[in-house]
Chain A
Amino acid sequence: MHLVPTADTIPVAWGWFQFLLLLTFPIHLLAMNAMLGSLAVGVIQHFKNDETGRKLAHRIAVMLPLVIAFAVNFGVAPLLFVQVLYGQFMYTSSVLIGIFWILVIPILIIAYYGAYLYDFKFSGLGAAGKWVGVFVLILLLCIGYFFSNNMLLMTLPDQFAQYFQNRDGSMLMSGHPAFLPRYLHMMAGSIAVGGLFVVLLGKFRADADPELAERAASVGLRTFFVMTLINVGFGTWYLVSLEKAQMMIFMGRNMAATASFVLALLLVIMVLVASYKKRFWPTFGATIALVYLMSFMRAWLRSDLLSEYFNLGQLVVEPQYSPMIFFFVCLVGGLVCVGWLIAKTVEALAKEAST
C-alpha cells in the first residue's frame, strides 16, 4: 500500500499551475542565488582586507537584506503552486522532516537580522563584520540543506514508511545517493550566479566608483566561470546518481526533456566561453535561460519519479476561473505599482547624483 494521501481538487486546469510554477520558480532561484552567491563572494572580498575588496563587500552587504526579502518573497509563489500540484507529496515529506523544516523559519529570521547587522554596522563592526557575514552564509547554506532534503524526499514516496520509526519529524535524506550531488549542484550554481549579481552591482556604481565596478566584474565573472566549471562535475555526478530510468528521460526516453538537456549543455558551453572572455551580458542572458531550462528539467525529473504513484492529469478540476482572472488583474496592477516605484526611485537617485 502506498502512503500517498489523496489529492484535493483544483479550480482550473493543472497546466495553469504548472505554467505559474515554472514561471516563478526560476525567479526565486535567481534571487536566492543572488543572495547566497553574492554573500559568498562578498565575504571572501571582505577577508582580502584591501580597500576595494572591503568596499565591494560593503556594497554586497547593503544589498543583502533587500535580496533576502525578494528571495523569500519570490519563493512564496512557487511554494504555493507546487503545493497545489504536488501537495499530497510535499505536505507529507514536510511532516517527515518536521523538526528541520520548521527550523528554517528561526534560522532565516536570525540570518536576516544578521544581514541587517552586517549592512547597517558594516564599518562599526570592524574585523568582526566578516564573521557576521560568514555566520549568515552558513545559516543560508543550512536552509538550502533542509530545502534539498524536503524537495528530494517529496519525490521518494517509497521512503515515506520510515515515518513509523520517526514520528517526531526527525527524518533526513542526506544519506540518499542523489542527495549530496543534488545539494552541491544547487549550491555551486548559486555561487556562480551570485558572481553575476556582483558584476551587476558593480555596474550600477560604475560612474561613481569605476574601480569598484572593475573589481566586481573581474571577481564576479571569475567566480561564475570557476563555479560553473565545478558544477559541470556536480551535475554529472547528480545525473549518474539517478536511477537509470530517470537518467534516460534526458537521453531519449522523453524527447522534450532530452532536447532541454542538450540545449542546456550548449548553453553551459556558451556561458563558460563568454564568462572566460569577460563578456558579461551574453553570460547573464544565457544564464537566465539556463536557469529556466534546468527548472524545466527538474520538473520532468520530479514528474517521472512520481509517475508510479501519480500524474498531474489525475488532479480533479472543479472549474472556477474568475478567481484566476482576479489574480491576473492584481498581478498587472502590482507590476504597474512596482514599475512606478522603480521609476520614481531611479528618477530621485539621478536627481540626487546630478546635484
Chain B
Amino acid sequence: MNYPVWYLPEIGGGLLIALIAILHVFVSHFAVGGGLYLIYAEKKGLRENSQAILDFTKRHARFFLLLTMVFGSITGVGIWFIIALVNPAATSLLIHIFVFGWAAEWVFFVVEIAAAFVYFYMFGKMDHATHLKTGWIYFISAWMSLFLINGIIAFMLTPGSWLENGNFWIGFFNPSFWPSLIFRTCIAIMLAGVYGYLSASFTQDEQVRTAMTRFSARWSLAALIAAIPSALWYVAVLPDPAAALVMGKSPTIVTAGQWGAAAAAVVLAITLIVGFVRPSLNMKATACTAMIAALVLMGAFEWTREAARRPYAINEVVYSNMIFKEDLEKINSAGFMHQALWVENRDITEATQGAVGEELFIQQCYACHTLGGFNNDLKALTGHMSHKALASYIGKIHQIRYFMPPFAGTQEEAAALATYIATGVHGKVPPAPEEQDNGADPGFGLFEEHCASCHDSGDLAPATEALDQAEIVTMLATLDEISDEMEPFEGTEEETAQLAAFLYFLNERPDAPGAAIDGAEIFEAECSACHAPEDLEGVFDAMELTEIHDMLDTLDEISDEMMPFAGSKEEKDALSTYLRSLGRAN
C-alpha cells in the first residue's frame, strides 16, 4: 500500500522470484561448496602427483568460474532486483535493518571475485602452497557470504525476539540461523559433489573419470547424511504456525516435499550406484540427471522455506502483500482505500465498485495469485464460488487458511473485491438483494458462507450419500476429526439443521421437496421440442443448481430462439435438478 504494485496479471511476481531465486541458489551454493572441492581436488592431484587430476581441476575451475562469476553473481543481483520489484516494502525493510550486514557481504563478494580470478588465471603459474591459499581465501569469503545472507534469510522466517527489541544481532543470530547455516553448508557440499559428477562425465581419461567420480561421491554422500539432522533441527526451531505448515497444512509444501524427497532419492541412488559401485556408469546423461535432481531438491527446499513463512514476507511483521501487521487494525476501521498511498479510487460508489475491487485485488491478492497464469491462478480457484461465498470467504480468509494474509479493509471493501472476482473476473451476475433474501434455500446460503471456499457442493454429494440428516448434524459438529483444516460448524441449532438438510438433499432423495414435481416431465413439456435429453448430457456438470436456475431465467440471452422458463420456483428447482442429473446419471 505504501508502494506501487508491478502488475503482470498473467505472470505474477512470485513466479519471477522463484525462477531467478532457484536458479541462483543452485549456482551460489555450488560457488561455496565448489570452492572447497577445488582445493581438495588440487591437493589430491598434488598428493598423487597426477598431472591428469590437476588438469581436471583446472578445467573444473574454468567451468566453476564461468558459472559462478557470471550466472551466479548476476542472478544474485537479479534476486535483489526482483524482490525489490515484487515486494519493495519488505525489501526496503530488510535493506534498512541489515544494511551493514549486506555491506559486509559485499566486501566478501569483492574478495571472492578477486580470489576466484587469481585462482583460475594463476593455476600452474604460482607455487602450490600460495595457490592453495588463494583457494582457501576464496572458499572462506564465499562461505562468509553464505553466513551473512543466511542470517538475513533466516530472519525473514524466524525473527525471534528481534520483534521485541529490534536489535541487529538478535535478528541476525535468530532461532533458525544455525540449523539453516549447517543445512545450507551441507547442500553446498552435496552440490560440489554433483557438479563434480558433471565435470568427471565430460572427462575423456577413463582413469581420471573414475577417480574423480568416486571422489565426488564421497562429498555428496557425506553431505546428504549430514543434512538430515540439520534439517530436523531446522524444522524443530520453527514457530508453531510455520511448523504446522511444513508438517502438512500447506498444500504447496506437501507438493514441494514430495518432489524434494524424490529428488534426494535420485541423488542418493546415483551417488551409491554410480559413485561408489560402478563409476564407469557416470556418463553425461547420468551426471545431468543428478544435476536436475539436485536442482529440484534445492528448489523444493527454497519453495518450502518461502511457503513456511506465509502469510508473511517477514514473519509477524509484514504480510506477503506488503501490508504491515501493526497497521491492520487501523486499515480495518478506516478502510484500505483511504489508508493506501498507491490507489486511484478511494470511495466505493456504484460506478467505482469494480475499479476498487480490482485495485484491492492488485494490492492484496496479486502478491500470490495470478489471473489466468500458471501460479495460484485465482480465476481457476474461485470459479465455483458465488458472490456471496466469496464475500464471506474474504472476510475470514486468514482464519480458514492461515497461510493467506487477512483481508485488510472494511466490509464494503471486501464486498467490492468479491464483486470484482465474481463479476469482473468470472462474469457472474451478482444476485439482487431481494433474490437473496426471498426464496433462497437458507441451507444453501449457509453452505455458501461456510463451506464453498473449499468445497464444491457437487463434490460433497458422495460424502453425504450414506448419511441421514441426523448423522450429517453430528458430522458438522465434528468436522475437525475429518481434517485438521476444518473447524466444527458453529451455527445455531436451526442453522445446523438447515445446512444438514442442504447437504442431505445434494443426493437424490425420495423425500426431496422438489420430488413431488418431476423435472423430466417439465423437460418433456417445455424443452423436448428442440432438445433431446442425451444431447444435454454433461452440459451442466460443472454448474451449480443456482447457476442452472439463473440460466433458466435468461435463456433468451443464450439464443434468440429460446424464451426464459416461466415456471414456478419449485418447477425451476425440479427442472434444474433434472438437467444436472443428465450429466451424472452415467
Contacts and interface: CB of A to CB of B under 8 A. Distances in A.
Interface of A: 1, 3, 5-6, 8-11, 17, 20, 65-66, 69-70, 72-73, 75-77, 79-81, 83-84, 87-88, 91-92, 94-96, 98, 101-102, 104-105, 108-109, 112-113, 116, 160, 163-164, 167-169, 318, 320, 322-324, 326-327, 330-331, 333-334, 337-338, 340-342, 344-345, 348-349, 352
Interface in B92-114: 92-93, 95-104, 106-111, 113-114
Contacts of A169: 6-8, 85
Contact of B77 (A96, A105, A342, A349): A105
B336 to A, nearest CB: 16
A69 B74 CA distance: 9
A75 B8 CA distance: 28
A155 to B, nearest CB: 17
Given A69-B113, A164-B344, A349-B125, A98 B6 contact: yes
Contacts, number: 188
Counting chain B CB atoms within 10 Å of each CB, which of A66, A320, A344 scores highest? A344
Contacts of A164: 344
B383 interface: no
B137 interface: yes
B73 interface: yes
Contacts of B28: none
B168 A91 contact: no
B81 A91 contact: no
B436 interface: no
B2 interface: yes
A341 B134 contact: yes
Contacts of B99: 10-11, 17, 80-81, 84, 323
B117 interface: yes
B11 to A, nearest CB: 9
B141 A101 contact: no
Contacts of A20: 103
Nearest to A8: B96
B84 A91 contact: yes
A323 B168 contact: yes
Given A8-B93, A84-B96, A104-B81, A341 B125 contact: no
B429 interface: no
B81 A8 contact: no
A345 B116 CA distance: 12
A352 B122 CA distance: 11
B312 to A, nearest CB: 17
Given A69-B117, A341-B114, A94 B74 contact: no
Contacts of A10: 96, 99
A112 B65 CA distance: 12
Contacts of A72: 73-74, 77
A341 B115 contact: yes
27 contacts: A3-B341, A8-B96, A11-B168, A65-B69, A69-B73, A72-B74, A72-B77, A73-B106, A92-B4, A92-B88, A96-B4, A101-B85, A102-B78, A105-B77, A109-B71, A116-B66, A164-B344, A167-B362, A320-B168, A323-B99, A324-B100, A327-B103, A331-B104, A337-B114, A341-B134, A344-B130, A352-B125
A95 B3 contact: yes
B74 A109 contact: yes
A109 B75 contact: yes
A349 B167 CA distance: 48
B4 A330 contact: no
Contact of B109 (A76, A95, A105): A76
B134 A344 contact: yes
B113 A73 contact: yes
A27 to B, nearest CB: 11
Given A80-B99, A95-B4, A168-B6, A322 B74 contact: no
Contacts of A5: 2-3, 88-89, 341
Contact of B95 (A3, A83, A101): A83
B104 A102 contact: no
Nearest to B8: A168
A69 B69 contact: yes
B81 A101 contact: yes
Counting chain A CB atoms within 10 Å of each CB, which of B2, B99, B127, B344 scores highest? B99
Q: Is the interface of B mostly helix, strand, loop or mixed?
A: helix
Interface in B58-75: 66, 69-71, 73-75
A80 B84 contact: no
Closest 9 CB pairs of A and B: A91-B88, A323-B100, A105-B78, A8-B96, A167-B7, A334-B107, A98-B6, A327-B100, A330-B104
Counting chain A CB atoms within 10 Å of each CB, which of B103, B106, B134, B168 scores highest? B103
B141 A337 contact: yes
A91 B77 CA distance: 15
A96 B168 CA distance: 31
A103 B280 CA distance: 43
B146 interface: no
Contacts of B2: 5-6
Contacts of A79: 80
A58 B339 CA distance: 59
B96 A9 contact: yes
Contact of B103 (A3, A77, A102): A77
Nearest to A87: B92
Contacts of A81: 99, 103
Contact of B115 (A3, A83, A331, A337): A337
Given A109-B74, A327-B103, A163 B95 contact: no
Nearest to B107: A334
Contacts of B16: 102
A341 B81 contact: no
Contacts of A105: 20, 74-75, 77-78, 81-82
B81 to A, nearest CB: 6
Contacts of A112: 70, 74
Contact of B6 (A87, A95, A324, A352): A95
A330 B108 contact: yes
Given A94-B85, A96-B4, A320-B167, A344 B126 contact: yes
B6 A8 contact: no
Contacts of B169: 322-323
B454 interface: no
A167 B343 CA distance: 11
B421 interface: no
B91 interface: yes
A160 B88 CA distance: 15
Contact of B100 (A9, A75, A109, A326): A326
A11 B99 CA distance: 8
A77 B77 CA distance: 11
Counting chain B CB atoms within 10 Å of each CB, which of A112, A164, A167 scores highest? A167
A96 B169 CA distance: 34
Interface string B237-265: 00000000000000000000000000000
Contacts of A65: 69-70
A344 B118 contact: yes
B288 to A, nearest CB: 20
B236 to A, nearest CB: 28
B491 interface: no
B122 A348 contact: yes
Nearest to B70: A112
Contacts of B73: 69, 72-73
